[in-house]
Structure 1
Amino acid sequence: MIEPHTCLTDNYKEDHFNLNSNMIATSLIPFVMQNPDINIKMIREIIKGKHHYTPSYKKAQKGRRKAFQMVYGDFESSFKALPRYMAALQLFNPDTIIEWEHHSTTMQGEQIFKFLFWAFKQSIDGFKSCRPVISIDGTHLYGLYDMKLLIAVGIDANGNIFPLAYALVARESFESWSWFLKLLWTHVVCERQGIGLISDRHQGILQCIQSYDWLSPPNTYHRFCVRHLKANFNKKFVNSELEKLMWLAATEHQKKKFVQRMQQIKILSPAAYEWLNEFPLEKWTMYKDGGRRWGAITTNVSESYNGLLKKARGLPVTAMVRMTFKTLVDRFVERNNLAIALLQSNMPWPVAIDKKFNDYYQKAQRHTDMMTYNTGDGVFEILTFAHDGKGGNVHKVTAEGKKCSCGKWRNYHMPCSHAIKFCGLRGIEPKSYVSKFYSTKYYKQTYTETFTPVGDEMYWPPTPFNLIANTEYLRTCGVQVRSRLKNDMDIAPTRMARKCSVCKETGHTKARCPTRF
């Protein structure tokens, strides 16, 4: 007999509450729906709070697995459910683009999965009001099948991510990227010209750029992600000073400053200078970009969206597509409400653009002196310089071509401080030179379209075909890495500043010193 106030043992608590994994799973359903990546420690805390009982690690793990299956299904059955769900998306959201690649089996009506592409009409219509630049990237999926999710995103008037299209593929290759880009250009880009395409230097993408005319000017202007190029540069030339100079060279807007940085690189390392010169300057420098990037020098926008989808990337395929749909709908609702508020406040541009223009405007007030060289045909060459002790540079502004020797007007499609000064002296409204793709009007148009929920499964159309997973995609045994592997892009500046005790150079320690090999 247990005496009053005697502490109950863990075994007694477990027997008393008799919480098996099924009961734990039922309790976890709302938490798993909110966060598919919920960890075991949190699960044990949840069960302890709800039932005053702490399950073992093994029991909590088993409960999580069962809750996951209750909410999202298992990976095998999810492939079978995918065609019907995609058909429902098309039914309730007409003109949604869905393209399949699959192989027939010996079983009648049965197909083995290969590729899946999808893009919503709401995104396709919204892209018409976005800046003409697209960032593409591929990311790993977790779970039973080792597959990749390819994504394409645009940039809205406020500089935010605008999801355009998705694809499920086995791996990143010339075949998969070629298939994805062809469908992206056919269904999303359509007749739009002069698109700036930003990507890393994956061989599959580079082969596509070289192989297809529609990925060449004037249709497309391909640009490298400078962050990825810098990572490749760091692997070959491990030196913090070179790393800094390479980044500065890539991001300079003026020719004279770019040349200065390159000369500094050449003095430090002629090999590094030659390596950088192997790449066309328009591919990796702002100075030669011609405004095709619209200020975006990396694929950070697509990688940021990958981060938002991290929870979805561990789900079975149908559940993952469901979550991409939900994420997109939430984004449209939030940004549409913001655009309405901006219009009601008579804001000509979203907040980020308004701030940038005002910064340029304030800077323009410190510029002085103007000389006009040519007033014919609306072309003005203006010399301006700052007198606040920080500048003293002379810049030439050509209004008709919307160019300034500082390079910012053309690259950002917004008048720089020198152009604003010219406008003030000539009685021209500088706001008239700000691109329409920055306007609140276009921001609202981007998110105007609405979505229709797919509703209950009983209202869905029948499955168009029986789909099964390709066993070649099964993940090999081992621990699944659920975070991106760190590389040179993640090296902190303090680490890059370390000095080697052998050769006394910065950027590495004696363990990685090239003189030791």
Structure 2
Amino acid sequence: MGPEHRCGRTFYYKCANLDFLARHYMEFLRMNRKVTVDAFKEKVHKKLNVNITKDQVYKTFVKAKILIEGKYRQQYTRIWDYCEELLSSNPGSTVHVEIEVDEDSGKERFHRLYICFTALKKGFKEGCHPGLGVDGCHLRGPHSGVLLTAVGLDANDCIYHVAYAVVETENKMSWNWFIEFLKFDLKIHDQKRWTCISDRQKGLDSAIQEILPGVEHKHCVRHLYNNFKKHHPSETLKGKVSEILKIAGELSDIMKTFRGDF
């Protein structure tokens, strides 16, 4: 046997550089975007027996983010393949993608996408009430945008998904574009039979009035109350809102009976 080994152990290795850390933990960081610096340091130490500095952690986060977002950009170049596959596997569906040209670079880039599957169109026409609920929400991630959705109610009063779209922002133009597709796909001709429910989204009211002027447009009470309570945060007033809704429902039933709508 050789002499007893008394050298101290080092936990710093040149091989554990930014490129290695970013690539090795890219998937972990993609799935855990809120991981703290200290938690990541501890994870690296336990897994690799390597100590890294806080500065290395920050730079690793930046490097990994670039790698992740780069992959997102590459996926956008395959949007046409995705649309072709949807149409191939779902004949009769409406899949529409729009691009725009960047004024500075002159390159094409993704602008909007609308999807309504043929099975959903057929199911809605044959088994759902003539009404739509439309809403939008902001997309969180490397590339901003807004998701627009349309849902209905089936014969069991359960939510039935109809169509969705990804647009650049929420305004009258994007809502007009979305509602035009809905009008075409769902064959909304006898508009007086239809009801549309929404909150007060930007540009949505004017878009519905322009594209579907004959549709009865109602606003979601929950959203109205949330806006109301910002200025009047009172439990008493909250109870009054419930009473008003009850009276409105009873009045609606009376009017239906009066008109003979059973």
User: Per-residue deviation at 1:225?
Assistant: 0.9
| Secondary structure of the structure 1 residue equivalent to 2:200 | coil
Greater RCO, CA 8 A, separation 6+: 1
1:245 corresponds in structure 2 to: 240
1:127 equivalent in alignment to 2:124: yes
One-letter amino acid of the structure 1 residue matched with residue 236 of structure 2: E
The runs of at least 4 aligned residues of structure 1 exceeding 6 Å deviation read: none
State the identity as a percent.
26
Mapping for residues 282-301 of structure 1, pairs under 5 Å: 285-287=248-250
Q: Residues 21 and 209 (structure 1 numbering): CA distance in 2 closer, same or farther, change over 3 Å?
A: same
User: Per-residue deviation at 1:174?
Assistant: 1.4
State which of 140, 146, 168 in structure 2 corresponds to 1:148: 146
CA distance in 1: counterparts of 2:64 and 2:156, whole angstroms: 39
1:93 equivalent in alignment to 2:90: yes
Q: Residues 241 and 88 (structure 1 numbering): CA distance in 2 closer, same or farther, change over 3 Å?
A: same
Mapping for residues 312-327 of structure 1, pairs under 5 Å: none
CA distance in 2: counterparts of 1:142 and 1:230, whole angstroms: 26
CA distance in 2: counterparts of 1:51 and 1:105, whole angstroms: 44
Deviations 1:104-156 (A, max 9, x none): 579xx964544322222233334343454432212222345443222223345
| Secondary structure of the structure 1 residue equivalent to 2:11 | helix
State which of 216, 224, 229 in structure 2 corresponds to 1:221: 216
1:173 corresponds in structure 2 to: 171
Q: Does the CA-based 8 Å contact 2:175-2:204 persist in structure 1?
A: yes
Q: Residues 31 and 145 (structure 1 numbering): CA distance in 2 closer, same or farther, change over 3 Å?
A: closer
User: Per-residue deviation at 1:186?
Assistant: 1.3
Mapping for residues 255-266 of structure 1, pairs under 5 Å: 258=247
CA distance in 2: counterparts of 1:43 and 1:289, whole angstroms: 59
RMSD (Å), alpha carbons: 3.9
CA distance in 2: counterparts of 1:289 and 1:25, whole angstroms: 61
User: Per-residue deviation at 1:242?
Assistant: 1.3
Structure with the bigger percentage of strand: 2
- TM-score normalized with structure 1 length: 0.40
One-letter amino acid of the structure 2 residue matched with residue 38 of structure 1: R
CA distance in 2: counterparts of 1:159 and 1:67, whole angstroms: 45
Equivalent pairs, count = 249
State which of 70, 75, 83 in structure 2 corresponds to 1:73: 70
CA distance in 2: counterparts of 1:72 and 1:87, whole angstroms: 24
User: Per-residue deviation at 1:199?
Assistant: 0.7
1:207 equivalent in alignment to 2:206: yes
Q: Does the CA-based 8 Å contact 1:118-1:165 persist in structure 2?
A: yes
One-letter amino acid of the structure 2 residue matched with residue 226 of structure 1: V
CA distance in 1: counterparts of 2:47 and 2:155, whole angstroms: 46
Give the stretch that moved more between structures: 196-205 or 141-150. 141-150
1:232 equivalent in alignment to 2:232: no
CA distance in 2: counterparts of 1:243 and 1:70, whole angstroms: 49
| Secondary structure of the structure 2 residue equivalent to 1:73 | helix
State which of 29, 36, 40 in structure 1 corresponds to 2:35: 40
Mapping for residues 71-470 of structure 1, pairs under 5 Å: 73-74=70-71, 76-103=73-100, 111=108, 113-128=110-125, 129-155=127-153, 161-187=159-185, 189-190=186-187, 194-212=193-211, 214-216=212-214, 220-250=215-245, 252=246, 258=247, 285-287=248-250, 402=262
One-letter amino acid of the structure 2 residue matched with residue 222 of structure 1: H
Deviations 1:9-67 (A, max 9, x none): xxx31327x3233333344355456x3x5322364454344324464455445445555
Unaligned runs of 5+ in 2: none
Q: Residues 227 and 74 (structure 1 numbering): CA distance in 2 closer, same or farther, change over 3 Å?
A: same
Q: Residues 289 and 2 (structure 1 numbering): CA distance in 2 closer, same or farther, change over 3 Å?
A: farther
CA distance in 2: counterparts of 1:51 and 1:172, whole angstroms: 46
Q: Does the CA-based 8 Å contact 1:40-1:57 persist in structure 2?
A: no
